[in-house]
């Protein structure tokens, strides 16, 4: 059939080329029924899996929802009051009662705006780090680098602001401080360690490997113990330095061990040609690193950096073992109040939800970044 013939016979129910309306696919390959058939009951294993999952959801979800919402008490002044209202539900009144403590710890009430401000400034400091195509990013990054000092000033005080002792830091604020400090300072240290690990100088290399392997080989709680009970032996007699600073140093060293490995991964992913090209240009080692290699390696490493941060952030709850009251510790010490004793499950669930929400958001971000980087190559 020639093309001219088809166009010339529009009358017998035919269509002009390109004018035929899309036909619906046969009903057995689309629609919800088909979707369910293929995706849920496609094979025997699939069917079993689906049924198993459905059963699990059916047994767990309603109970959980009852405990958490429908049978829970949201108001009350003691555990007994809660139990009177809600004998088999959660007692969220406790969390509500202590919420400021959970967030600010023992930070003096009239000064708490400083913590809020620091949180706010932190968000502002994160913007240039997270969005690489914002205008004036370079200048904004300077602010981000200065942020730890600014925050330290606001939180600790001095020059016009009332001094707040670091012992009064607690709750969520403590988790964020340890996490953010750890990541901010471990990044440069991690870069140095990663470069040192690949260095041509054998002794530097051995030292860096030794340090990284040591940090990665011992649990964080032992490092916190060192901060609490051993570091004070290592400073000259008669001097001491703040426990929080010691914890921060240990948290930073811990994170930098992991950071070094993340960045090493980034460095190794850079094609050899880049190194050779930099050498061919006659750049010195530091120049080639600063101008060619590191910018590329850092870009690849960002998802890993975010993951390291999530790991460190979750681990900050371990300061409880040395008596520092973070969000979990505040919960525990509040439970020593005889009015509220026996509500540890509520505390754990609250803290778990809190960590889940913040860490999940961060891991989503890291995933998004990973995808973005993926398409870039």
73 SS3 class: strand
Contact present, 87 and 66 (Cβ < 8 Å): no
Q: What angle do CA 371, 374, 377 make, to 5 degrees?
A: 155
Q: Is 187 in the site for another protein (CB under 8 A)?
A: yes
Which residues inside 32-91 make contact with another protein, applying CB under 8 A?
35, 38-40, 42, 45-46, 49-50, 53-54, 56-57, 79, 83
Task: Give the span between the Cα atoms of 180 and 68, in whole angstroms.
Answer: 31
Stretch in the footprint of another protein (CB under 8 A) among 19-27, 31-39, 120-128, 130-138: 31-39
Nearest approach, Cβ of residue 210 and another protein (Å):
10
| Phi and psi at residue 283, to the nearest 5° | -75, 145
Q: Which is nearer to another protein, 7 or 132 (CB)?
A: 132
- Beta-bridge mates of residue 91: 73
Nearest approach, Cβ of residue 133 and another protein (Å):
22
Select from 82, 169, 325, 366 the one that contacts another protein (CB under 8 A): 325
Q: Is 121 in the site for another protein (CB under 8 A)?
A: no
| Phi and psi at residue 2, to the nearest 5° | -85, 160
Tell me how crowded residue 271 is: count the other CB atoms within 10 A of its CB: 9
Binding mask 125-154 for another protein (x = CB under 8 A): --------------------x--xx--x--
Stretch in the footprint of another protein (CB under 8 A) among 4-12, 26-34, 129-137, 308-316: 308-316
Backbone angle region of 219, left / alpha / beta, with phi > 0 → left and psi within -120 to 50 → alpha: beta
Nearest approach, Cβ of residue 206 and another protein (Å):
10
Nearest approach, Cβ of residue 100 and another protein (Å):
8
Beta-carbon contacts of residue 296 (< 8 Å; ≥ 6 apart) = 266, 270, 274
Task: Give the span between the Cα atoms of 305 and 370, in whole angstroms.
Answer: 11
Q: Which is nearer to another protein, 14 or 96 (CB)?
A: 96
Select from 68, 81, 122, 189 the one that contacts another protein (CB under 8 A): 189
Q: Is 295 in the site for another protein (CB under 8 A)?
A: no
Q: Which is nearer to another protein, 130 or 245 (CB)?
A: 245
Nearest approach, Cβ of residue 363 and another protein (Å):
6
Q: Is 250 in the site for another protein (CB under 8 A)?
A: no
Select from 67, 74, 119, 225 the one that contacts another protein (CB under 8 A): 225
Task: Give the span between the Cα atoms of 303 and 188, in whole angstroms.
Answer: 16
Nearest approach, Cβ of residue 351 and another protein (Å):
6
Contact present, 252 and 182 (Cβ < 8 Å): yes
Which of the 8 DSSP states describes residue 131? -
Q: Which is nearer to another protein, 12 or 97 (CB)?
A: 97
Q: Which is nearer to another protein, 71 or 333 (CB)?
A: 333
Q: Is 216 in the site for another protein (CB under 8 A)?
A: yes
Task: Give the span between the Cα atoms of 251 and 254, in whole angstroms.
Answer: 5
| Phi and psi at residue 326, to the nearest 5° | -85, -165
């Amino acid at each position: 059939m020639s093309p001219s013939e088809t166009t010339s016979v529009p009358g017998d129910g035919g269509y002009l080329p390109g004018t035929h309306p899309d036909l619906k696919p046969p009903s057995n390959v689309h629609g919800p029924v088909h979707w369910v058939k293929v995706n849920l009951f496609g094979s025997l294993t699939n069917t079993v899996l689906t049924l198993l999952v459905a059963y699990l959801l059916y047994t767990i979800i309603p109970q959980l929802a009852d405990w958490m919402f429908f049978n829970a008490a949201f108001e009350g002044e003691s555990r007994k009051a809660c139990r009177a209202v809600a004998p088999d539900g959660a007692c969220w009144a406790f969390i509500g009662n202590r919420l400021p403590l959970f967030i600010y710890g023992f930070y003096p009430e009239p000064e708490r705006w400083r913590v809020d401000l620091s949180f706010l400034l932190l968000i502002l400091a994160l913007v240039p780090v997270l969005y690489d195509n914002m205008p004036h990013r370079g200048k904004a990054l300077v602010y981000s680098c200065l942020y730890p000092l600014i925050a330290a000033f606001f939180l600790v005080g001095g020059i016009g602001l009332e001094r707040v002792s670091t012992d009064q830091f607690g709750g969520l604020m403590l988790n964020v401080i340890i996490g953010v400090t750890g990541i901010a300072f471990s990044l440069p240290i991690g870069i140095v360690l990663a470069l040192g690990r690949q260095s041509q100088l054998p002794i530097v290399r051995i030292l860096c490997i030794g340090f990284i392997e040591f940090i990665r080989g011992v649990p964080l709680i032992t490092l916190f113990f060192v901060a609490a009970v051993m570091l004070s032996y290592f400073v000259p007699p008669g001097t001491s330095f703040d426990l929080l600073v010691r914890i921060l140093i240990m948290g930073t060293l811990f994170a930098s061990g992991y950071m070094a490995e993340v960045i090493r991964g980034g460095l190794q992913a850079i094609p050899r040609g880049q190194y050779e090209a930099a050498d061919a240009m006659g750049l010195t080692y530091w120049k080639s690193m600063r101008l060619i290699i590191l910018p590329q390696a850092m870009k690849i490493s960002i998802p890993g950096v975010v993951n390291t941060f999530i790991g460190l952030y979750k681990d900050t709850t371990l300061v409880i073992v040395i008596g520092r009251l973070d969000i979990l510790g505040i919960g525990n010490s509040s439970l020593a109040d005889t009015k509220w004793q026996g509500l540890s499950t509520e505390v754990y669930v609250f803290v778990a939800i809190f960590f889940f929400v913040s860490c999940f958001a961060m891991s989503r971000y890291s995933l998004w970044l990973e995808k973005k980087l993926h398409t870039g190559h």
